[in-house]
Structure 1
Amino acid sequence: MNNATTTVKLLQVDLTDPVTHMDVTKLRVGFVTERDPVEHMKKNSGAERLRLEFRQNCKLFLLKMVSKLFEKAPLKYPLVRNVSVLDPRVLLKSKEVSTRKLTTVLRRLVETGRIEDKCCDEIIREFGHFHDHSLMSASDSFRDFNPQSGRLDEFYQEHLSNKAECRHLWEVVKLVLVLSHGQASVERGFSVNKDVMVENLKEHSLIAQRVIKDRVHSVGGLLNIAYTKELLLSAASARQTYHMYLDDQRRLKQDEEKTQKRKGMMEEITQIKANKKRMEEYIRVLMKSADHNADKAESQGQLSFISKSNGLRRAAKEKERHLETLERQLTDKLKELKDTP
């Protein structure tokens, strides 16, 4: 583990190798969990074995959890690891490292058919020019970039999009940002949904607000919107449309409740029928056993078989009363199902 100094080396660690595992006796499981076994060991001589088994199970759980994290980690993809070249702070540290990361990104984009390989040399040349001139002159803004509040699309829109000598590089940056947007969070500086999201906002409202925001942005601001007749009519009837939507949702909810109610009643009826069938079979077996014991009593002349036969018949009578109760329940449920709209 001491050699896992980079992301790639960390992903290459063999989790099944016992050499990389911590001693199970040194595994920290929490103060309360540590205290309870100690109290138990004072009362039970075999508690030490149970304590070791518990720690071993904790270790197995951690191994499986970390293995799953490694399996699902996006960092195992070279494109994801090297896209960090777009982090302004990483870009500022080393031109050589940034160029190497960009080369890997370009290689992956060529392999997937996103760009043509003949453009790569020009993109790398533009990147070198951008790093030597534009980046150095605005190094403070690159160094102070905060991914918690800043957005990479806006950042590079300001520093890169207006430079004609870097137009091929700008196309690649836009492509990578678009590819990253679907899996990125606001904290990573890719998401633009942060501007329209509020608490308890439903999916339809979020989509509608996002469409409106994109439209306003595409025309260059609120002052450039063309207020057409269709737009004014839509705004005037918005409240009526909203109430119609609420009525539709209310009807859908009522229909869903009725469907769930009928489904629950059908399940109850099925269960009652199954219980009734089992009860009938049980009564049949009891009566058959009672008749068999009566025949043995008659053929062998032993009164004990008569006693067994009578006991079985009494049990069958009791089950028949239970069966009558089930039949009444079944009749009531069928009537209730018929009356349910």
Structure 2
Amino acid sequence: VTTAASSNSSLRTFVSGPEVLSAEVYWALDVMGNHGSFNSCNGKGQLFHLMFPDSNIASKFTCGEDKAAYLTTFGIAPHFSSLLLSKVKNASDYVLLFDESLNRPLQSKQLDVHVRFWDGDHVSTRFFDSHFLGHACADDLYKPLRTNCNTVGIHGILQLSMDGPNVNLKLFDMLSRDLEEETGSKLLYIGSCGLHVMHNAFKAGSNTTTWDIEHTLSCLYWLFKDSPARRDDYTKVTGSTVFPLRYCQHRWLENVTVLERAITIWPQIQTYVANVNASKLPHPKNKSFESVEKACTDPMFLVKANIFLSVAQECQPFLIKYQTDKPMLPFLADDLFTTLIHLLQRFTAVKLFSEDFKDRSNHKDASLINIGFVADKQLSELKVRKKVSEQDVLIVRKETKEFLVTALTKLLEKCPLKYTLVRNLAWLDPQKIKEKPSLCEKQLRLCLQIISSAGKVRENKCDTILNQFRDFAVICKTSEEASEWPTGAHSRLDTFFHAQLAKEHAFKDLWEIVQKVLLLSHGQASVERGFSVNKNITVTNMKERTLIAQRVIVDHLHHVGGVTNVGMTKELLQSAGCARQRYHAYLYEENKKREHTQQTKKRQVLQDEVDQMKMKRSKLQTNINALLTSADELAIEAEASDKISVLAKSNALRKAAKDKEQELKKYDKNIEKKTNEMKQL
């Protein structure tokens, strides 16, 4: 009776009403949304009992560390994953975005895969899956990505969005070949991520100078990082509590702020260094101080820093604008071209890239090179005060030109402007449709040639699409929404065209091609943001499955706008209710795998022992045969010569062979024993 009562009590603990389960699900979602740990859930049930003594739900609430863990990993995350997969499968086309980075706590490379698809009236980019790798060559990346394609359906993939390493280009070729063999169509290619290209071009340009600005900015931060004594000394001699910010080569947007901070506090930095050199403050014994001290002796450091800042600010608007998941590809060519022209006009009078900007005959005189307003003013002041020579001024202006030439060369080498499809997508700009319909029609025609040759639209539909576009362009001229775009009701291209075309049967074929083009990804911003999420949620000893589950939940919460917007549907509750059962099934399977692994290891150990014994037995048998052969030969010799001593030797060899035969039988028994043990495993 006691056992039955205890069992019923235990059952009541885990079998609660939907209200209690809903509360536990919401609690688990809130923990995930705030990147909390499962351990933080311990004791919350008792706390809620005390806080809400009159609540029946609070009295039954039990969501400690273990329950929160299996509820999220085996209940909530699978449901959210199934919702996403259903949406992607229902969409006719999709784009995969991927990138990998080192996951330090797990000590493996984490390959994050995002999927881009039409979700109702807009294009959505969502986290789809993660894979954990040791090596990350093309073959290693191909297997998990091909698995994801198979899960969704490879026939629907339009594009593989990625950054630019050669490994990724080989991977693109492998998947594109698969797609062509299986469906007859090809992947659309628009180059690598424009954000990466812009950042890497700026970095390549800065590396051609001798200014070492990036290294100095890094040393500035680390000089005062984790050093309360130095921070205190700095504050005492300067009266400032403003310190350098961290410079990171991988943060595209934040480096302008870092440089602005460094320029602002540079007089205080010089004061601090001067006091150290005057022995009024302790001398930091590190390389960071040596680098900062060296920069302080350069009268043109601020000039160089402001040139660096001026060029960075030229690139920043593009980087900010394209840190979005909204469809932006139709504007990419114009925005890239504008940035290129601005950089070009700093050192040359050439207005178009038809002329060779590397040709020195097209370059401005060194004194006319645009180094930025602030830098130019500072340089003039230094000349007046005779702090720098004409030669110094000439050198810094020439280095600025080399900076710009290298950056532009890198941009043109890698940027998406190389591709016809990218250069001709402006036909999707509502303003251009209204103002330049003929030009837009030409661009659409070029796009259709590329897309139809890739097998993504039938050629016999192209004339219909062009006719429908002409009709749509006429409507746009008088459309209020087109006139108000992008400040009107639809500030996104996807929602604008959905409102204009989706429900109009007369534009059915045009809408089909618009959907495909707006789906194409302009960059990797969503994947890069995901790396920050990984860092926030990953803890030591976390299982890979748990990490993926948390990423799925965090992505869903971001998509719906927070925990309070999650619908507590019947399906979600059913999935959450099955979490414990799935968890135990998972533990059972893991235990079986562990046992199988142990048995395999034991079997291998036994097999090695058997192989070793067989080898020794073989050698022993050879030895016995040799002894018997020698004994026979000696016996024949003894018979022929009547020598007793020779016969005695023959008998001794036979006795030795007989003893070894006994040892041979022991080997046979041991081999049989080990073989039987292997059969029982």
TM-score, normalization: structure 1?
0.51
Contact in 2 for aligned 1:11/1:70 (Cα 8 Å): no
Aligned to 2:482: 142
What is the DSSP-based 3-state SS (H/G/I as helix, E as strand, rest coil) of the residue aligned with 1:167?
Answer: helix
Note if 1:208 corresponds to 2:553.
yes
CA distance in 2, matches of 1:88, 1:50: 50
Deviation, 1:81, is 1.9
- Gaps in structure 2 of 5+ consecutive residues: 1-335, 342-350, 539-547, 584-681
Note if 1:48 corresponds to 2:390.
yes
After TM superposition, list the pairs within 5 Å mapping 1:16-35 onto structure 2: 16-29=358-371, 30=375, 31-35=377-381
1:52–1:234 distance in 2 versus 1, CA, 3 Å: farther
1:175–1:15 distance in 2 versus 1, CA, 3 Å: same
Note if 1:168 corresponds to 2:547.
no
- Gaps in structure 1 of 5+ consecutive residues: 1-5, 186-190, 241-341
Q: Percent identity?
A: 25
Contact in 2 for aligned 1:41/1:48 (Cα 8 Å): no
Note if 1:227 corresponds to 2:571.
yes
Contact in 1 for aligned 2:379/2:393 (Cα 8 Å): no
CA distance in 2, matches of 1:114, 1:209: 33
Note if 1:61 corresponds to 2:389.
no
CA distance in 2, matches of 1:234, 1:34: 74
1:164–1:26 distance in 2 versus 1, CA, 3 Å: same
Deviation, 1:106, is 0.7
Deviation, 1:112, is 2.7
Contact in 1 for aligned 2:468/2:507 (Cα 8 Å): yes
Deviation, 1:206, is 6.1
Deviation, 1:184, is 8.0
Contact in 2 for aligned 1:110/1:117 (Cα 8 Å): yes
After TM superposition, list the pairs within 5 Å mapping 1:186-335 onto structure 2: 207-211=552-556, 225-227=569-571, 229-233=573-577
CA distance in 2, matches of 1:162, 1:75: 33
CA distance in 2, matches of 1:12, 1:70: 12
Aligned to 2:613: none
After TM superposition, list the pairs within 5 Å mapping 1:30-109 onto structure 2: 30=375, 31-40=377-386, 47-109=389-451
Amino acid at match of 1:233: G
Contact in 1 for aligned 2:427/2:443 (Cα 8 Å): yes
Structure richer in strand, relative to its length: 2
CA distance in 1, matches of 2:386, 2:483: 56
Cα deviation, 1:44-87, whole Å, max 9, x if unaligned, reads: xxx32333223222211221122222223322322112111111
What is the DSSP-based 3-state SS (H/G/I as helix, E as strand, rest coil) of the residue aligned with 2:486?
Answer: coil
CA distance in 2, matches of 1:201, 1:67: 37
Amino acid at match of 2:574: E
1:140–1:231 distance in 2 versus 1, CA, 3 Å: same
What is the DSSP-based 3-state SS (H/G/I as helix, E as strand, rest coil) of the residue aligned with 1:227?
Answer: helix
Amino acid at match of 2:421: L
CA distance in 2, matches of 1:37, 1:90: 49
Cα deviation, 1:182-216, whole Å, max 9, x if unaligned, reads: 5287xxxxx9xx9xx99x976966643444677x8
Contact in 1 for aligned 2:448/2:462 (Cα 8 Å): yes
What is the DSSP-based 3-state SS (H/G/I as helix, E as strand, rest coil) of the residue aligned with 2:425?
Answer: helix
Deviation, 1:33, is 3.2
Deviation, 1:99, is 0.8
Amino acid at match of 2:385: E
Amino acid at match of 1:76: K
1:91–1:209 distance in 2 versus 1, CA, 3 Å: farther
Cα deviation, 1:301-333, whole Å, max 9, x if unaligned, reads: xxxxxxxxxxxxxxxxxxxxxxxxxxxxxxxxx
Note if 1:156 corresponds to 2:497.
yes
Cα deviation, 1:21-54, whole Å, max 9, x if unaligned, reads: 1110222431223333443468xxxx32333223
Deviation, 1:158, is 1.0
1:226–1:103 distance in 2 versus 1, CA, 3 Å: farther
Aligned to 1:183: 523
Aligned residue-pair number: 213
Residue 115 of structure 1: which of 453, 457, 476 is its match?
457
Aligned to 1:128: 470
1:65–1:151 distance in 2 versus 1, CA, 3 Å: same
What is the DSSP-based 3-state SS (H/G/I as helix, E as strand, rest coil) of the residue aligned with 1:10?
Answer: coil
Deviation, 1:226, is 4.0
1:53–1:213 distance in 2 versus 1, CA, 3 Å: closer
Contact in 1 for aligned 2:417/2:423 (Cα 8 Å): yes
Contact in 2 for aligned 1:85/1:91 (Cα 8 Å): yes
Aligned to 1:282: none
What is the DSSP-based 3-state SS (H/G/I as helix, E as strand, rest coil) of the residue aligned with 1:165?
Answer: helix
Amino acid at match of 2:492: R
1:167–1:212 distance in 2 versus 1, CA, 3 Å: farther
Aligned to 1:313: none
Deviation, 1:151, is 1.6
1:123–1:15 distance in 2 versus 1, CA, 3 Å: same
TM-score, normalization: structure 2?
0.27
Aligned to 2:625: none
1:223–1:207 distance in 2 versus 1, CA, 3 Å: closer
1:22–1:208 distance in 2 versus 1, CA, 3 Å: farther
1:147–1:73 distance in 2 versus 1, CA, 3 Å: farther
1:80–1:146 distance in 2 versus 1, CA, 3 Å: same
Deviation, 1:176, is 0.3
Contact in 2 for aligned 1:126/1:169 (Cα 8 Å): yes
CA distance in 2, matches of 1:69, 1:228: 48
Cα deviation, 1:239-292, whole Å, max 9, x if unaligned, reads: x9xxxxxxxxxxxxxxxxxxxxxxxxxxxxxxxxxxxxxxxxxxxxxxxxxxxx
Amino acid at match of 2:553: A
1:236–1:84 distance in 2 versus 1, CA, 3 Å: farther
CA distance in 1, matches of 2:570, 2:513: 34
Cα deviation, 1:108-152, whole Å, max 9, x if unaligned, reads: 21233322222211111111222234x345x22112112797221
CA distance in 2, matches of 1:107, 1:151: 26
1:163–1:62 distance in 2 versus 1, CA, 3 Å: same
